[in-house]
Amino acid sequence: MVDELAKLLEGSVASSIEVETERYTVKVTRTGSSTSFTEETPAAERDAVAEVEKVQRVRATTVGIFSATREWQRGDKVERGAVLGAIQSLGHMADISAPADGTIADVLVAGGAPVEYGQALFAITIA
């Protein structure tokens, strides 16, 4: 699975790909020309860490094609309610907004990518 994610990352503009289930999370990150991965433990422990770090995931509200409003980068500041992008589904555009003031910690989906309902699109470190 990690090899498949690494291959997918190589053909993408995204800097990382993360697969999250109830039992584990696998994150593949590209740094320069190399790719590394980390594997986290059960969701309960992961959620506890996320609370301490105050990281919030911005999730897809529908199924469709994601379009970012601009090329978001790690470290970009966002304000609550700022439109990060939109998901096109059956000719309708559903805006994706920042849930709080903070900083982009990770861009999890590249513009033009198909997304599923509930899929994490961004991780935001809450200010």
Q: What is the pLDDT of residues 44-79, one digit of tens each?
A: 544 443 334 478 889 999 999 999 999 999 999 999
Instruction: For 49, list phi and psi in degrees, rounded to 5.
Output: -65, -40
CA distance readout (Å), 115 to 4, 64, 67, 104, 126 = 18, 6, 10, 19, 24
Q: What is the pLDDT of residues 86-120, one digit of tens each?
A: 999 988 999 999 999 999 999 999 999 999 999 99
pTM of the model: 0.59
Q: Which domains are seen in the chain, by residue range?
A: 1-53 (no CATH), 55-127 (2.40.50.100)
CA distance readout (Å), 92 to 41, 88, 99, 100 = 37, 6, 21, 25
DSSP 84: E
